[in-house]
């Protein structure tokens, strides 16, 4: 297993939708393992393939408390098929948007369909924190960052700060 480089805003790959997974093979399994190791090392609770430069539609996540036993989950070609309610994701952050957090309005309950790492179809309901994490990661697969879901003013302030940092380096 390897720790992969996590792409950061403003990398253009992060703003592009990924391609569907068509073949669940050994290469994909290795990418899943590498992404899981990368996510735990970061540390994070979710990681989409696009965040590590993989142009395929899958993600890994683990929302179990850090002190508990790890519980890795994999979603291939995930999609939200039903959503309802509203919840404020307070102080949301992202491994690809370093040193910035903001409140984001998300759905409080979602139903997700996809494929597990063994190729079996799965469908489940998620609410609260898990729903927030899944919406965040599925957004990545569609080329959407959480800063795309905040006010224009806050987003522009962040972009200005990043441009300044890039000029200085």
Catalytic annotation, pick one of 84, 86, 92, 137: 137
CA 116 from centroid of its chain's CA atoms = 16
Query: Is 86 tagged catalytic?
Result: no
DSSP secondary structure, 15-42, as one string: GSPPBPP----HHHHHHHHHHHHHHHHT
CA 12 from centroid of its chain's CA atoms = 16
Question: If 0-12 CB within 10 Å is exposed, 13-18 middle and 19+ buried, where does residue 109 land?
Answer: middle
Q: Tell me the helix, strand and coil percentages in the chain, rounded to 5.
A: 35, 30, 35
Peptide bond just before 128 cis, omega within 30 deg: no
Catalytic amino acids? Answer: 137
């Amino acid at each position: 297993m390897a720790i992969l480089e996590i792409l950061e805003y403003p990398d253009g790959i992060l703003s592009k939708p990924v391609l569907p997974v068509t073949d669940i093979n050994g290469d994909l399994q290795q990418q899943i393992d590498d992404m899981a190791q990368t996510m735990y090392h970061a540390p994070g609770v979710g990681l989409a393939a696009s965040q590590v430069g993989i142009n395929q539609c899958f993600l890994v996540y683990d929302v179990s408390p850090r002190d508990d036993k790890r519980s890795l989950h994999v979603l291939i070609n995930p999609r939200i098929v039903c959503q309802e309610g509203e919840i404020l994701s307070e102080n949301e952050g992202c491994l690809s948007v370093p040193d910035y957090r903001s409140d984001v309005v998300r759905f409080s309950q979602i139903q997700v369909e996809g494929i597990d790492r063994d190729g079996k179809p799965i469908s489940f309901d998620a609410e609260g924190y898990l729903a927030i994490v899944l919406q965040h990661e599925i957004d990545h697969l569609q080329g959407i960052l959480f800063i795309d879901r905040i006010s224009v003013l806050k987003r522009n302030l962040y972009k200005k700060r990043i441009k300044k940092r890039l000029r200085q380096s």
